[in-house]
Amino acid sequence: MNSYFKIILITVHVIAFSILPAKAEDYKLPQYSSRDGFVPVVGRKGMVSVRETIAAKVGADILAKGGNAIDAAAAIGFALAVTYPQAGNIGGGGFMVAHIASENKTVAIDYREMSAGKARHDLYVGKDGKVNQKLAKYSRQSTGVPGTVAGLAFAVEKYGTMNLKQVLTPAYKLARDGFEVYTQLEVSLARAKERLSADPAALKVFYKADGSNYKTGEVLKQKDLANSLRAIMRKGTDAFYKGDIAKKIAADMAANDGLITEEDMAAYKVYERKPVFGSYKGYKIATMPPPSSGGVHMIEMMNMLENDDLKVKGHNSAATLHLYIESMRQAYADRSLYAGDPAFFKVPVEHLIDKEYAKEIRARIPMDRARLSSEVAPTKDWLKESMETTHFSVMDDQGNAVSNTYTLNFGFGNGIMAAGTGILLNNELDDFDHLPYEPDANGNISGKANAQEPHKRPRSSMTPTIVFKDDKPFLVTGSPGGGTIINTVFQTVMNVVEFDMNVAAASSKPRINHQWMPDMTTVESGVSQDTINILEKMGHKLNVGTRTLGSTNSIIYRDGYFYGAHDPRSMDAATIGIN
């Protein structure tokens, strides 16, 4: 046959296979292993996994009506600002890793808060040389210029199919008409009452006129927040950064010793960054670059362990957990020196994610004993980071995927609402290292990388992540948890890519956390007592069963189905498959 006919024959073949319906025997039932005792949610046409159910339904509805994953993610982000004020926000900031199928590219959108023009590295340090925690955590001086409105608008305008007004509408209606308080919100508001009551605007919104708490099933309306959302719907992001809302925030700051001015609001910028890419045993990983420390140090840990056969050692066995702890110890020591805003500090990303560097630091891990953190790097006491952040994952049937983590830092941020806006303010600037920095005896400049400077973004641990298999989005995941986020996402990803767990099992297994300083491993309940005994004999200091770690929302796409799971550690979360 001459080559001309060969080409025609091949072309006919290819066209026939791509347009003909699948043969009956090609049809596959969803495949998931219930071996691990947990089963995922299944969907055929897309999926959302969100920390709060009402916002999850908003996202699912958008996917069902033909919106793409970016439209759904933006709508979820705005809806959570109303229904999950613990961490959902338009007064905070965050990070989105998104795979855009039509362009076959993956982007990292940085909408982290930035400090005010008047910020200084020793802003919260008193005359006694100590950090004034009230100022750093519960005052308007702890607030960075919020990035969420700009970030979600940027994503939807560049990569969505809907406009900003469309993705804001569900949030606006939820704020205007109210929604039924759910158990987790009732509990969170009751617990935060003392703090929120100190602010007249927050008190008025989150508690009834007689001062009593909202109960599950009662309707919570947020009139001022609805007005702010409507202003953004009408005038776009300028309403927030240059218009009425910016003016109100600046006036509120000026009246209460806050630092943010109208000029600071107008100066806010979203950055579309190249994700940090890594690989692990044939999988490709795309995750968040600086100013988040999450992606870099998760990849550093995965690189350290890539040549170990952890499957043979066993999931959550003493040998595997020993390697996890020692990798965490190293990664968090590096993080303390190097993580910060890349516009102000040259973060050595390429070095930290280099596989040769990983081999070198892996070789330093003894297999028979725990190291002391002081052996790994000079001692320094690091500030505790808040656990209140929230993550959501979205995938659609066009191959788009979104992994988004955003936050106000603490639950309900600093507990203060900018007067007349209904917007809770973040206390993200507490993520900077506050004490004045000086080189230590070894010349290390701990603290400089993450010292507060004008218009700088504080270091984060948020780790929104997409794992690729055969160059297609395979796993979308992320978690809240302050400094523990990196370790939670790391273990969730390892459960899938190393231990072949289905996504529900991967989300449910007990986790551990070590952050170099303090030299202590938190171990969730569920790790066997034998394992704990062996680890303690090796010299590991363990804190067992006192708390949970993280709250993941994850989706896997495999062979025509979406499989998802929200973390069993969280109440009122939801994963919804579109069919």
Out of 83, 237, 389, 488, which one is annotated catalytic? 389
Is 385 one of the binding residues for ligand GLY (CB under 6 A)?
yes
Candidates 139, 386, 400, 450: give the one binding ligand GLY (CB under 6 A).
386
DSSP 8-state class, residue 140: G
Is 290 one of the binding residues for ligand GLY (CB under 6 A)?
no
Using CB under 6 A as the binding rule, the residues of this chain from 412 to 431 that contact ligand GLY are 428, 431
| Binding track, positions 241-280, relative to ligand GLY; x by CB under 6 A | ----------------------------------------
**For the sheet containing 542-544, what is the strand order?**
512-513, 521-523, 542-544
Region of 331-339, 352-360, 383-391, 447-455 interacting with ligand GLY (CB under 6 A): 383-391
Distances, alpha carbon 289 to alpha carbons 70, 124, 275, in Å: 20, 27, 6
| Residue count, binding to ligand GLY (CB under 6 A) | 12
Candidates 460, 477, 502, 515: give the one binding ligand GLY (CB under 6 A).
460
Shortest distance in whole angstroms from residue 431 CB to ligand GLY: 5
For ligand GLY, give the closer residue by CB, 224 or 385. 385
For ligand GLY, give the closer residue by CB, 142 or 169. 142
Candidates 482, 550, 564, 577: give the one binding ligand GLY (CB under 6 A).
482
Shortest distance in whole angstroms from residue 244 CB to ligand GLY: 28
Give Cβ neighbours of residue 233 (< 8 Å, ≥ 6 apart).
164, 165, 168, 169, 172
> Is 183 assigned a catalytic role?
no
Region of 214-222, 227-235, 385-393, 509-517 interacting with ligand GLY (CB under 6 A): 385-393
Q: Is the dihedral of CA 201, 188, 492, 575 positive or negative?
A: negative
Q: How far apart are CA 376 and CA 494, in angstroms?
A: 24
Region of 52-60, 226-234, 459-467, 496-504 interacting with ligand GLY (CB under 6 A): 459-467
For ligand GLY, give the closer residue by CB, 59 or 93. 93
| Helix H or strand E segment including 6 | helix 3-19
Supply 1's token pair.
């046959």
Helix, strand or coil, per DSSP, at residue 449? coil
Shortest distance in whole angstroms from residue 123 CB to ligand GLY: 17
For ligand GLY, give the closer residue by CB, 362 or 457. 457
Is 331 one of the binding residues for ligand GLY (CB under 6 A)?
no
Phi, psi angles (nearest 5°) of residue 337:
-90, -35
Is 389 one of the binding residues for ligand GLY (CB under 6 A)?
yes
Distances, alpha carbon 7 to alpha carbons 20, 212, 368, 568, in Å: 20, 77, 62, 54
> What are residue 8's DSSP bridge partners?
none
Phi, psi angles (nearest 5°) of residue 115:
-75, 165
For ligand GLY, give the closer residue by CB, 113 or 498. 113
Region of 346-354, 414-422, 460-468, 554-562 interacting with ligand GLY (CB under 6 A): 460-468
Is 513 one of the binding residues for ligand GLY (CB under 6 A)?
no
For ligand GLY, give the closer residue by CB, 341 or 385. 385
Is 462 one of the binding residues for ligand GLY (CB under 6 A)?
yes
Using an 8 Å Cβ cutoff, are 226 and 172 in contact?
A: yes
For ligand GLY, give the closer residue by CB, 220 or 260. 260
Distances, alpha carbon 106 to alpha carbons 60, 150, 447, in Å: 22, 19, 31
Nearest C-alpha neighbor of 376 from the set 534, 538, 514? 514
Q: How far apart are CA 381 and CA 400, in angstroms?
A: 41
Nearest C-alpha neighbor of 271 from the set 456, 489, 479, 430? 456
Shortest distance in whole angstroms from residue 569 CB to ligand GLY: 18
Q: How far apart are CA 363 and CA 356, in angstroms?
A: 11
Give the count of alpha carbons within 13 A of 412, CB side only: 25
Is 336 one of the binding residues for ligand GLY (CB under 6 A)?
no
Using CB under 6 A as the binding rule, the residues of this chain from 104 to 163 that contact ligand GLY are none
Using an 8 Å Cβ cutoff, are 267 and 145 in contact?
A: yes
For ligand GLY, give the closer residue by CB, 40 or 482. 482
Shortest distance in whole angstroms from residue 150 CB to ligand GLY: 17
Kindly list the catalytic residues: 389
Question: Which positions lie near ligand GLY, rule CB under 6 A?
Answer: 385-386, 389, 407, 409, 428, 431, 460-462, 482, 485
